[in-house]
A and B are shown apart, each in its own frame.
Chain A
Amino acid sequence: MKQLFEKYKTLLTDEEGLKAIEAEMSRQKEDAYETFHTQKTVISEMAAAIRKTRNVLLLGMGASHFVNQIFAFQIRKMGIEAHAIPASEFLYDPIPVDRKVVILTSQSGESVETIKCLPSLTGNTVYSVTLTPDSTITKQTRSIICAGGGEKAYAGTRSVTLTLATFAFAAEQLGQIKFEKIERAIEFEQTDLAAMEKAVWTLFSKHSIIATGRSLFAPLSQLFALGCEELGTKPVLCNETGMFRHGPMEILDSDTALVVFRQEGELGELCTSFESAQKQSGCALIVLDSSGLDPLKNAITIPCPTGLDINTVLGMMTTFQSLMVAYACGKNPRTGLPRYGSKVTVSE
């Protein structure tokens, strides 16, 4: 992936933002293992609390919320009642929290809405996942502190991977995943650079981009869209696939790139319906494909580790991050240098 960055950074007028992102991404593998080794006691404790209560509420903002959703969908597979809602939603339209284990996710530990939720949770067992020791969240909750310190680069890359890895380790403690499979996911490196570059140029060339996926791959597609927007400074529509088929599909045309996150099994089979949508609309189809099934016709297929769980999503991290960063280099000559926002959102 490094060679992809080396090539596309020639499109930038300022490389500082990209350098910071590269620095974060280059550490994420080692930091994931380090997180497991240093935090396994707390991760195990959180998993035990989840197993005991079987009722979990996850709160976070931005990318943290989407990672929370992935974990919520993962543990629903074992019959646990799990809901991930934005901290801002909980703050102004709260739901009862009796007998729930609450997990707050914030890489900085200072996201304003997440912090503001704390007073409403005084009677609960509250865990948190953060990258930042000595943050407000760390001080006020039972905290899992991911390795390597706070993320400095704009847009979540390492923070997302480490939070996801933490939840994968929790799923392992809950008996859903074998540790060896998590290791394989962390080690996965995309080798089909030809497919990656075709996807990058397709994204460059189209006026509209739409990202979509189902189940755990829906929040994954949200992470991709969010990253493309933050870094590329252009709008990217994202709908869960079922919702997309209920109306928004009408926007597909020959100037659209549809990015599909496809998993193994029944939901991967359902993606074959995009073949006729592509044929009818003339849209470009890019598939990050973990299905293990035949590639969709007329699609650019980027092969990813086969599966449908949180571990599969973890294995796709560097692939989708590299795609979104390379895309951004073509759209924003100052990729990774925010115009209006900041790394940590501390005001509403």
Chain B
Amino acid sequence: MTATGSYTGKFFPLSSELFDFIKTLSNEKFMVDIHAIPAFFHNDPISSRLRSE
């Protein structure tokens, strides 16, 4: 499985392994300290899925 998120109209591919790994980096809130990713995670389905999980 490959999870693919959109960011500013571009695609940012995440392998399922990396996707699972990123989840382990989060605590109660899923927000990594990155200038663009908050928007990325706010706006696309991956973010919603990560938050719901």
Chain A interfacial positions (CB closer than 8 Å to B): 7, 10-11, 194, 197-198, 201-202, 204-207, 330-333
A interface footprint on B12-38 (CB within 8 Å = 1, 0 otherwise): 110101100110011000001111110
Q: Give chain A nearest CB distance to B50 CB in angstroms.
A: 13
Interface of B, secondary structure class, is: mixed
For the complex, is B49 an interface residue (Cβ under 8 Å from A)? no
Interchain CA distance A331-B35 in the complex, whole Å: 6
Instruction: Check if A7 sits within 8 Å of B33, measured CB to CB.
Output: no
Instruction: Check if A10 sits within 8 Å of B37, measured CB to CB.
Output: no
For residue B8, which residues in chain A have a CB less than 8 angstroms away from its CB? 10
Q: Besides the contacts A11-B36, A198-B18, A201-B22, what 16 more A-B pairs have beta carbons closer than 8 Å?
A: A10-B11, A11-B12, A11-B35, A194-B15, A194-B17, A198-B21, A201-B18, A202-B25, A204-B33, A204-B34, A205-B26, A205-B33, A207-B33, A330-B35, A331-B35, A333-B36
- A-B pairs with the 9 shortest C-beta distances? A205-B32, A330-B34, A205-B25, A10-B10, A204-B34, A11-B36, A204-B32, A198-B21, A197-B18
For residue A205, which residues in chain B have a CB less than 8 angstroms away from its CB? 22, 25-26, 32-34
Interchain CA distance A259-B11 in the complex, whole Å: 29
Instruction: Check if A204 sits within 8 Å of B36, measured CB to CB.
Output: no
Q: How many residues of B contact A (CB 8 A)?
A: 19
Q: Give chain A nearest CB distance to B20 CB in angstroms.
A: 10
Instruction: Check if B21 sits within 8 Å of A201, measured CB to CB.
Output: yes
Interchain CA distance A331-B32 in the complex, whole Å: 11
Q: Give chain A nearest CB distance to B19 CB in angstroms.
A: 10
For residue B34, which residues in chain A have a CB less than 8 angstroms away from its CB? 11, 204-205, 330-331
Interchain CA distance A205-B26 in the complex, whole Å: 8
Q: Give chain B nearest CB distance to A104 CB in angstroms.
A: 38
Centre residue among A10, A194, A206, A332 by max chain B CB count within 10 A: A10
